[in-house]
Structure 1
Amino acid sequence: MTSAERLNLAADFPAATRDQWRGLVEGVLRKSGVEFGDPEAALATRTYDGFDLRPLYTADDTAPDAGFPGLPPYVRGATPGGRVLSGWDVRQRHADPDPATARRAVLADLENGGTSLWLVAGAAGLPVAALGDVLADVYLDLAPVTLDAGAETLAAADALLAVHVDKGVAASEVRGNLGADPLGLRARTGEPADLGVAVELARRAQAYPALRSVVVDGLPYHEAGASDGQELGCAIATGVAYLRALTGAGLDVDQAARQLELRLAATADQFATIAKLRAARRLWARVTEVCGATVRTAPLHAATSSTMTTRRDPWVNMLRTTLACFAAGVGGADAVTVLPFDAALGLPDAFARRIARNTQSILLEESKVAGVIDPAGGSWYVERHTDELARAAWAVFTEIERAGGIAAALDSGLVDERLAVTRTARTARFAAGEEAITGVTVFPNENEKPLTREPAPPEPGGGLPRVRYAEPFEAKLESS
């Protein structure tokens, strides 16, 4: 008996057919009184990107070959070994404006499972002048820092590099990202994008072989209500704009590509998140191939979505972020940030931070989610979803390029117009009960004792609107 024969566990059973499945489904639908024509169409779910998620996928539902991990088109991962040996980077976000509190929180995270830091500095977070105090006890050669300083990016980058010098960290050991994202700042604030900031920091980063300087952030679009395809399309268009700016300033295309890191949202829709991260690698590989780069991948940072968080019954946010973190790991994220469950209420407390980092620790150390290379690979559903999402995102990207690029599309209102359609449709589905927010639109606790937190520094506004889908329904509950 061959190994193939031994593994054919269903050899003694007749092969099931699609027609048999359809017949059984039709019987169930009739008994339940559901009106239907085609049973597959009746059970399909239309995505906000215009393609259907069907109830059944088989080997007939082919998708383009996803290749192998570590090889083009990198759908299955940027490295052959995935994250099996090291796990993903547990990147903790800090935005507390009080330097002493931030310093304690940073140390607590790094001593208890965190492996890197995402520091929000400037008006929306830590004072730039306090970066040295906050990082005084941090071994920066072991725990890299990614900055998020908005309009104060240059000053924050200067301060961070000065801390490395003060600590005697060799240039070859400086890692992390200086966080230049002028187009993301344009999307959030409406202020003109100064790509010179990205150019200057990219030039400066050439002295540090392991340091990156630019973040291609999809969160401003996600937080404004974008679909997964819209978020991806806007992010890819942003990345292309940065490649143009950096190569136009004298860097070669590989030097430019090495400066970029992608950041995308992870949601509680686990399969959509898995497909989004896999599609992001495929899209970026195609962009860099066309640009003639040999550097075909970029680090992928997944952050749990703020649009899905709730102020009411915030404990349910733990379940949402666990699903999102799981999906980010399965999708092959290089770094993952889990927002604390009370983040929608204000500045997180120590307990919420501990739960956020322990969510990752449990998935990594106990559940061994990183212990399998591309566990979703070969799933007919995931492979088809990845392909259809990549095509939808490419359509968004090409529309933006025809409009003159992401900066022009933001200035003309094209991006906001497209996102508003999706935002309105999703809100309508929540209002109609077609989608649910547990603890708010379904199963609300009318006698809930609210949590209170110190208010967080206000995020910059003036650009794309920011949405948290539970907010209007929470307001209705509180006023009733």
Structure 2
Amino acid sequence: MSNFLFDEFPPVSSKQWKQKIQFDLKGAEYNKTLLTHTNEGISIKPFYHQNERDFLEIPKAKEDFKICQSIFISDEITANFLALDSLKRGATSILFIADEPFNISELLKNINCGIHFQLNFLSEKFSVELANFCLNTSTFINIDIIENHAKSGNWYFNLKQDFEIIKNIKSQIPKNTSLIKVDASLYQNSGANIIQQVAYALAHGNEYLNFLGANIASEIQFNFSVGSNYFFEIAKLRAFRYLWKLLCEEYNFNIEPHLFIQPTFRNKTLYDFNSNMLRTTTECMSAILGGANTICNISYDSVYHKKNEFGERIARNQLLILKEESYFKNASDITTGTYYIESLTKEITEKALIIFKDIEKAGGFLKLLKEGTIQRKIKESADKEQSQFDSQELILIGTNKHPIENEKMNGEIELFPFVKTKPRKTTIEPIIAKRLSEKIEKERLKNEA
């Protein structure tokens, strides 16, 4: 007798399952009743079968994910203290955010871990000094002049000078330094759908390969935001891993992408803010299963509170619990072979590749940014999603469904939680990140007694 229980039963084909389902529907149409159609143009089936599997070979993350703590540099001594404290409490990587040059040795004193930087300025001299100081650590300088151009509507200086600065930095820094960042978080937080995010990240990265040479591929980190569409977000990251490796092979490089992941701000809410903790938990789970190399969680109150010890500790502990207590350690390979996720991965890959090829045929990502095509496509997707939220087709619990009627937030706000408008002259229309719940929150704040 076989040791496998199901060997005792005859196999059931996909066609037989569908016939049985059709019979049980008693005349109702299979396609209209049981297929779910998404904004990405993907139809979710009621079942997936091994007979239909056609899996892609997805590059796997070589190490378990790093837990990253983000710290804004208001002064170097305080930032250094917060970094060391975070490392003692379970973080394994640090993201330093700076608006201006800082004292490097003071900031990085006694810090020996993977270090990421988000420099909201472009300086050849400072970037070279920073990279050379971090010679013996895994360092990510994370310069993304294209993201700055897309977000602000302007270059730091101009296209030619910005790229020239990067070339000069590259020629003066150690080879183990990751210099470039492709920040696809902007597209997600602005309302681009999942297929657009993958395609735009690929096209965005390809611009750096074209301008700086293909050997820059090993020095690029990709930043993504993940939302609450659990399985789709897993498939999104897997699809990008496959496509980037495919693109690099066209340049005769065998390189796997480094993925830095954060939960999205788009679905985070001002009211019933504790729900944000549930959202970020599932989003971090998607990031892990999708193959993230580094995950930097956001705190449940980051929409309206300044950084605080409690919120940052909760965010960090969410990742620690997932990693150490919830069997998500070294879990990036778990999704391999799952029919549904494999099918989603393949479909997202195919659709994103079509968009990427169209972008390249039309002259590339920067050309379409200049013409406003990318902005228009994102706005169309964002408007559709906003309409779904406004009509309660898309639900955020505690905000457009089951709100806490007596909840008051006017006295709690430390940070302006809505899109900030600052009229200025720009060379292109900027891509603006916006949360789904802003309109309804403004009304509630206005009506608070």
The aligned counterpart of 1:119 is: 96
Aligned to 1:210: 176
8 Å contact 2:61–2:293 — kept in the other structure? no
Match of 1:250 in 2: none
| Deviation for aligned residue 1:467 | 1.1
Distance of 2:20 and 2:223 partners within structure 1: 40
Q: Per-residue CA shift, 1:49-72, capped at 9, x if unaligned?
A: 212122221123333x323xxxxx
SS in 2 for 1:397: helix
Which residue does the alignment assign to 1:474? Answer: 441
Is residue 217–residue 235 contact of structure 1 (8 Å, CA) maintained in 2? yes
Who is 1:66 aligned against? Answer: 56
Which of residues 27, 33, 43 in structure 2 aligns to 1:42? Answer: 33
Structure 2 residue runs without a partner (length 5+): none
Aligned residue type for 1:280: F
1:272 pairs, out of 232, 241, 261, with: 232
Which 4+ stretches in 1 moved above 4 angstroms? 12-16, 98-101, 456-462
Instruction: After superposition, give the CA deviation of every residue in 1:378-413 in whole Å (9 maximum; x if it has no partner).
Output: 111101100111112112212221221111111110
Deviation, 1:216, is 1.2
1:117 aligned counterpart, secondary structure:
strand
Please tell me whether the aligned partners of residues 181 and 216 of structure 1 are also in contact (alpha carbons under 8 angstroms): yes
- Aligned partner of 2:164 among 167, 172, 196: 196
Q: Distance in 1 between matches of 2:185 and 2:137?
A: 26
- The DSSP-based 3-state class of the residue aligned with 1:369 is coil
The 2-side partners of 1:273 and 1:233 are apart by 14
Q: Provide the residue aligned with 2:74 in structure 1.
A: 97
How many residues matched?
431
**Structure 1 letter corresponding to 2:150:** A
Which residue identity lines up with residue 71 of structure 2 in the other structure? H
> 1:178 is paired with a residue of what secondary structure?
strand
Kindly indicate whether the alpha-carbon contact (under 8 Å) linking 1:430 and 1:436 is maintained by their aligned counterparts in 2: yes
Deviation per residue, 1:186-229 (Å, 9 max, x gap): 11111134222332232223xx2421100111012112111111
For the aligned residue pairs, the C-alpha RMSD in angstroms reads: 2.5
The one-character-per-residue Cα deviations of 1:4-51 (angstroms, maximum 9, x if unpaired) are x312x2244565541365147526xx8xxxxx522x442322222212
- Contact (CA 8 Å) 2:71, 2:83: kept in 1 or not? yes
Alpha-carbon spacing, 1:423–1:267, altered in 2? closer, same or farther (3 Å): same
CA contact (8 A) 1:202 1:212 kept: no
Cα 1:477–1:10 shift into 2, 3 Å: farther
- TM-score normalized with structure 2 length: 0.89
Paired letter, 1:475: K
Answer whether contact 2:224 2:259 (CA < 8 A) is retained. Answer: yes
What is residue 241 of structure 2 aligned with on the other side? 281
SS in 2 for 1:265: strand
What's the secondary structure of 1:151's corresponding residue? Answer: coil
Amino acid at match of 2:184: G
TM-superposed CA distance for 1:96, in Å, is 5.5
The worse-fitting range, judged by mean Cα deviation, of 369-378 and 307-316 is 369-378
Listed as ranges, the matches of 1:226-245 within 5 Å are 226-245=192-211
Contact 1:310 1:317 in 2 (8 A): yes
Deviation at 1:159, TM superposition (A): 5.2
CA deviations on 1:302-347 (whole Å, 9 max, x unpaired) are 1111112111111111111110111111111111111111111142
| Correspondence for 1:10 | 6
Cα distance in structure 1, aligned partners of 2:335 and 2:231: 9
Inter-CA distance 154–54: structure 2 relative to 1 (3 Å threshold): farther
Change in 2 beyond 3 A, CA 1:355/1:420: same
**What's the % identity of the aligned pairs?**
25
**Aligned residue number for residue 183 of structure 1:** 146
2:295 to 318, 331, 336: 336
User: Any idea what SS the aligned residue of 1:333 has?
Assistant: coil
Query: Do structure 1's residue 422 and structure 2's residue 390 form an aligned pair?
Result: no
AA aligned to 1:279 is A
Which amino acid counterpart does residue 106 of structure 1 have in structure 2? A
* Corresponding residue for residue 85 of structure 2: 108
TM-superposed CA distance for 1:156, in Å, is: 4.8
Structure 1 contact 218–234 (Cα < 8 Å) conserved: yes
- Aligned-residue offset at 1:119: 1.7
Q: Is the 8 A contact 2:234 2:287 kept in 1?
A: yes
Letter in 2 for 1:59: Q
Using a 3 Å threshold, how does the CA distance of structure 1 residues 96 and 345 change in structure 2: closer, same or farther?
Answer: farther
Would you say the 8 A contact 1:146–1:176 is kept in 2? Answer: yes
Contact 1:222–1:231 (8 Å) recurs in 2? yes
Q: 1:452 aligns with which of 406, 412, 424?
A: 412
For residue 313 of structure 1, the aligned residue among 272, 295, 305 is 272
Q: How many angstroms apart in 1 are the aligned matches of 2:324 and 2:116?
A: 24
Q: Please say if residues 113 and 361 of structure 1, whose CA atoms lie closer than 8 Å, have aligned partners that are also in contact.
A: yes
Measure how far apart 1:239 and its partner are: 0.9
CA gap 1:54/1:477 in 2 versus in 1, 3 angstroms: farther
Pick the aligned partner of 1:129 from 96, 102, 107. 102
Aligned to 1:147: 117
Quote the Cα distance in structure 2 between the aligned partners of 1:155 and 1:41.
61
Q: Measure how far apart 1:98 and its partner are.
A: 5.0
Write the letter of the residue equivalent to 1:177. Answer: F
